[in-house]
Structure 1
Amino acid sequence: MASKYRRGFDITRDSLRVFTREPSLLLLPALSFLAVGSAFAVLAAILFQQGLVESVVTNDLYKYGALFCAIAISSSVATFFNAAVVHCAAQLFEGNSTSVRDGLAAAWRARRQIAVWAVVAATLGTVLYILDEKFGVVGSLTRAVFNLAWALLTYFIVPVIVLDQRRKLRDQLRRSGSLFRETWGESVSATLGVSFIFLLVALPGVALGVAGYFILDGVLAVGALVGGGGIVVTAIVGSQTASAIVRTALYRYATTGEQVGPFDGRDPDTVFPEN
């Protein structure tokens, strides 16, 4: 078991090392969080200004509309910046130089596909939420199963949008699903490894936040909340970056057979062996 965790740490470390050639690229996931936060702040300000907060709580139409907007905003912004990370990682795997501007330009070229993807994700997310809310256990089970299937089907959706440059969503989904079937063991194992490592990083931040909210007072409480929040945000930023790099490397392996980035010199088929 310890060896599996060690491999997860190694993959995470090697993923982040990809950007040591261009440390400024770590700005991309940070910009993603700033953009999402700003967008949600604007949305909240509009709700308060128009006096719609109570309606969102009590009226299903407003509630579902707000949920759709929230998912669309978070999905579009996160996908946009993940697309930039994927492009930059792919360039570094090729031995080319790249930059934040280069990544953002590549994501901007795919803006239409990203927008379509965000609308589809928001629509499905809202529908599944309604099913969960209206149909009890059956709805919850349906939502859980579909969320898992959707996550697996769309595992490579960002690399496909950016690197495969397929225009139609149906073709993108087919390509992503096909690539995942070819690398499902490596994909799941690597993703779980990265997620586990950053969960460990985030736990002290969560503990600080809980202490600041329930136990401490005054300046100590504020400091704990700010510090804990900073640790959690850092963990999320790091997880997003490492995951995008891992998926780009696996995309390269699935399409060309080359082992690059975190899989350079490591057989992806035995990333997480049973023994």
Structure 2
Amino acid sequence: MFERFRRSVELTKASLAVLRADRELLIYPLISFVGVALVSISFAVPFLVTGAFTRTTESGVDPVTLALGFAYYVVIYTVIFFFNTALVGAAMIRLDGGNPTLSDGFRIAASRLPAIIGYAALAATVGMVLRAISERVGLLGQLVVGLIGFAWNVATFLVVPVLVVEGVGPVEAIKRSAGLLRKTWGEQLIGNVGIGLVFGLLTLGVFIVGGLLVALLASISGLLALVAVVALIVAVAILALVGSAVGGIFTASLYRYATTGDAGPMFQTETVAAAFRPKGSR
């Protein structure tokens, strides 16, 4: 466990080094978050007008709710994948020794838009099917669905950089992603590093410290407590942005290692090589 955390910290540091060299990479997840919020707000209107929320609660999912839900997920995933593709594309340029600009990332993502939409539709379909099954089965069935979902996440881990570099369609990108993982790290993979774990712990620490500070200031002044709450929200938002950018950079380095054997100038090859491991090995 400690070794896994150590690798996660090392990869986080390496990804942060790339981010420090190209701070504009933070713009992609920022716009993505704003886009997701706007899409969610815009879809709330048809859901309310059609009474989809009420029908879902009282009598299960009807065709209108299903169609709206599917459309929502497709649009949301398209927004997320578009800006993630832009981020990974720009990161790949940096890892290859270039000096990317914001327009480089947007240009790459725009050129892959049809494949991004197709992949978003596939991801939405898989997500909705797994969720529907999970809601209708018992605990054992939910565990099986969870394993299937985990397998999907692993198999599609490199889809975005595949789309960026190889320009294939969504189905071929999924096959290529799974194939690269199997070829590089073998069968029955499990994650051996967790950049999300690092940022999860950082966020937890911020919440704990911030919560204590808010409680302390609340006993002194309501205004000071409000300022502390705002500062806490801003700090968590910044961590989320940085974590998203770092995750995209790491994905780019992982793809680079899987295809060339070199993760990039800021990454230690042996650490990236340990990102996944065969199940049962240490």
Q: 1:235/1:8 Cα in 2 relative to 1: closer, same or farther (>3 Å)?
A: same
The 2-side partners of 1:233 and 1:183 are apart by 35
Pick one of 251, 254, 258 that aligns with 2:258.
254
What's the offset of the Cα at 1:55? 3.0
Residue matched to 1:230: 234
Pick one of 91, 108, 121 that aligns with 2:123.
121
What's the offset of the Cα at 1:126? 0.9
Whichever residue aligns with residue 253 of structure 2, its letter is: A
TM-score, with normalisation over the residues of structure 1? 0.84
Residue matched to 2:162: 160
Q: 1:230/1:13 Cα in 2 relative to 1: closer, same or farther (>3 Å)?
A: same
What's the offset of the Cα at 1:219? 4.7
What's the offset of the Cα at 1:195? 1.2
Residue matched to 1:199: 200
Residue matched to 2:31: 31
The 2-side partners of 1:164 and 1:187 are apart by 25
Residue matched to 2:10: 10
Cα displacement string for residues 75-121 of structure 1 (whole angstroms, at most 9, x for unaligned residues)? 21111111001110111112222111110111011111110111111
Pick one of 136, 157, 161 that aligns with 1:134.
136
What's the offset of the Cα at 1:66? 4.3
The 2-side partners of 1:63 and 1:133 are apart by 16
The 2-side partners of 1:166 and 1:219 are apart by 54
Determine whether 1:178 maps to 2:179.
yes
Whichever residue aligns with residue 154 of structure 1, its letter is: T
Q: 1:4/1:147 Cα in 2 relative to 1: closer, same or farther (>3 Å)?
A: closer
Identity of aligned residues (%): 27
The 2-side partners of 1:22 and 1:166 are apart by 27
Whichever residue aligns with residue 173 of structure 1, its letter is: I
Whichever residue aligns with residue 94 of structure 2, its letter is: L
What's the offset of the Cα at 1:236? 2.5
Q: 1:120/1:2 Cα in 2 relative to 1: closer, same or farther (>3 Å)?
A: closer
Contact 2:15 2:246 in 1 (8 A): yes
Residue matched to 1:19: 19
The 2-side partners of 1:199 and 1:131 are apart by 29
Residue matched to 2:107: 105
What's the offset of the Cα at 1:250? 1.4
Residue matched to 1:243: 247
Q: 1:270/1:123 Cα in 2 relative to 1: closer, same or farther (>3 Å)?
A: closer
Contact 2:119 2:171 in 1 (8 A): no
What's the offset of the Cα at 1:264? 4.2
Q: 1:30/1:154 Cα in 2 relative to 1: closer, same or farther (>3 Å)?
A: same
Q: 1:22/1:29 Cα in 2 relative to 1: closer, same or farther (>3 Å)?
A: same
Whichever residue aligns with residue 239 of structure 1, its letter is: G
What's the offset of the Cα at 1:124? 1.2
Q: 1:270/1:136 Cα in 2 relative to 1: closer, same or farther (>3 Å)?
A: closer
Cα displacement string for residues 13-36 of structure 1 (whole angstroms, at most 9, x for unaligned residues)? 210211323222211111111111
Secondary structure of 1:263's match? coil
The 1-side partners of 2:223 and 2:57 are apart by 33
The 2-side partners of 1:132 and 1:21 are apart by 43
| Further displaced range: 176-185 or 83-92 | 176-185
Q: Structure 1: which 5+ residue stretches go unaligned?
A: none
Q: 1:117/1:97 Cα in 2 relative to 1: closer, same or farther (>3 Å)?
A: same
What's the offset of the Cα at 1:138? 4.4
The 1-side partners of 2:212 and 2:176 are apart by 43
Secondary structure of 2:17's match? helix
Whichever residue aligns with residue 252 of structure 2, its letter is: T
What's the offset of the Cα at 1:177? 0.4
The 2-side partners of 1:272 and 1:55 are apart by 43
TM-score, with normalisation over the residues of structure 2? 0.82
The 2-side partners of 1:211 and 1:184 are apart by 45
Secondary structure of 1:177's match? helix
The 1-side partners of 2:182 and 2:101 are apart by 32
What's the offset of the Cα at 1:183? 3.7
The 1-side partners of 2:190 and 2:138 are apart by 32
Contact 2:88 2:164 in 1 (8 A): yes
